[in-house]
Amino acid sequence: MNIIVEDWGIIDYTLAYQRQKSLVQEIIAGGTGHLIFCEHPPVLTLGRTFTEGSLLYTKEEIEQRGVTVQTVDRGGDVTLHAPGQLVVYVILDLNLFKRDLKGYLEKLEQVAVDLLKEFGILAVSVPGKRGVFVKADKIISIGVGVRKWVSYHGVGINVNTDLSLFSLIKPCGLDVHMTSMAKLLGRPKDMDEVKKKWAEIFSKTFKGEMTS
Amino acid sequence: MTTIILPELGEGITKATVAYWHVQQGDHVVAGDEVCEVTTDKATFNVEAPATGRVKSIAIQQGQDGLIGSVLGIIE
């Protein structure tokens, strides 16, 4: 199975979402899967299970800090995207992976855990809480959408994210602190190196699970 | 009359929450149209109309849980 890897650079959240939707249609029509890397200007996205209590300030106060707020059709509560966070969108035909949502999410988490291990960070997925954690702190968030068994959205990896922005929210509705690779390693991490490693591990993990 | 069923979402998933209905009772739908979104475990799944017709009723409202295989609504 071929997966096309693309780097969209720093891109507006809405534009990236529209592009994802176009790719989903292409894949439904028989196109090739995509792995997309990008970063977004500061934005809070509110998923389908968003609850008001997850925003710790009013929308106006949040926007005054230069962060936009947007409702999106993905699972999960509130998530922050900002420069320094590597967003990975996975547009993939899950018909090739047993049509198993839980299995798909677990595979994404496994890629994330393996990725961090490559950089000397011991992270785990926690039963009952989606995402990837280092001790009690969350480092990677996950939220996916599925249309005709084609996935979209994906993961947000805090590489060099300005963590102070997370004080605006309860990330994913949880009382949890966020961390980043830069914080844990004590220095900013090269984004391209992280992208390259993610693509390698992702390719290995998903290819091995193909059923046809 | 055709039922809209909460589909199998994979191993170990027994229920999902109806997050959003795109249609209301009385709306006309075409087979394959997305009629609602269900969420489970940080994933949103778009459920399609299994037939063309009018939405006769909605059995599981937004915010409510349903077991896999249960009737979400009826098209006639």
- What is the per-residue pLDDT across A186-212, written as a single tens digit (0 to 9) for each? 999 999 999 999 999 998 998 744 333
Name the token pair of B23.
Answer: 């249609």
* Sequence-distant (≥ 6) Cβ neighbours of residue A186 within 8 angstroms: none
Contact A40/A20 with Cβ under 8 angstroms?
Answer: no
Residues 3-32 of B with CB under 8 A from A: 8-13, 17, 19-20
Helix%, strand%, coil% for chain A, nearest 5: 35, 30, 30
Q: Which of A146, A148, A172 sits opposite B43 (nearest CB)?
A: A146
Cβ distance B42 to A148 less than 8 Å, yes or no, reads: no
Buried (b) or exposed (e) across A137-149, using 16+ Cβ within 10 A? Answer: bbbbbbbbbbbeb
Residue from A62, A72, A115, A172 carrying the catalytic annotation: A172
Backbone angles phi, psi at A132, to 5 degrees: -130, 135
Between CA A138 and CA A179 the distance in angstroms is 6
pLDDT in tens, A17-76: 999 999 999 999 999 899 999 999 999 988 777 888 889 999 899 999 999 999 886 666
The amino acid sitting at A61 is: E
Q: Does B62 touch chain A (CB under 8 A)?
A: no
Confidence (pTM): 0.90
Burial class (CB within 10 angstroms; exposed 0-12, middle 13-18, buried 19+) of A34: buried
Q: What is the pLDDT of residue A9?
A: 97
Which CATH number covers residue B65?
Answer: 2.40.50.100
Of the candidates A82, A90, A112, A92, the one whose C-alpha atom is nearest the C-alpha of residue A11 is A82
Known catalytic residue: A172? Answer: yes
Between CA B11 and CA A89 the distance in angstroms is 23
Residues from chain A that touch B37, judged by Cβ atoms under 8 A, are 48, 73
Cβ distance A48 to B40 less than 8 Å, yes or no, reads: no
Q: Name the residue with tokens 């989606």.
A: A130
Q: Which of B10, B13, B37 sits opposite A73 (nearest CB)?
A: B37
pLDDT tops 80 at residue A172: no
Mean pLDDT of A127-140: 90
- Give the distance from residue B32's alpha carbon to the nearest chain A alpha carbon, in angstroms: 9
Q: What is the pLDDT of residue A173?
A: 61
Q: What is the pLDDT of residue B42?
A: 77
Of A170 and A183, the structure prediction assigns the larger pLDDT to A183
| Residue of B9, B36, B42 to mutate, testing the A interface (most A Cβ within 10 Å of its Cβ) | B42
Residues of chain B under the 50 pLDDT cut:
none
Cβ distance B45 to A146 less than 8 Å, yes or no, reads: yes
- Quote the domain boundaries for residue B12: 2-75
| Residue of A71, A102, A149, A151 to mutate, testing the B interface (most B Cβ within 10 Å of its Cβ) | A102
* Sequence-distant (≥ 6) Cβ neighbours of residue A170 within 8 angstroms: A53, A54, A56, A77, A78, A176
**What DSSP element (H or E) covers A205?**
helix A191-207
Give the neighbor-by-neighbor strand order of the sheet with A43-46. Answer: A68-71, A43-46, A78-81
- Give the distance from residue B49's alpha carbon to the nearest chain A alpha carbon, in angstroms: 12
Cβ distance B10 to A75 less than 8 Å, yes or no, reads: no
**What DSSP element (H or E) covers A103?**
helix A101-118
Query: Terminal CA-to-CA distance of chain B, rounded, Å?
Result: 4
Average pLDDT over all residues of chain A: 90
Total domains in the fold of chain B: 1
- Give the distance from residue B10's alpha carbon to the nearest chain A alpha carbon, in angstroms: 4
Between CA A64 and CA B34 the distance in angstroms is 36
Cβ distance B10 to A101 less than 8 Å, yes or no, reads: yes
**Kindly report the CA angle at A33 between A32 and A35, in degrees rounded to 5?**
135
Name the token pair of A47.
Answer: 């998923």
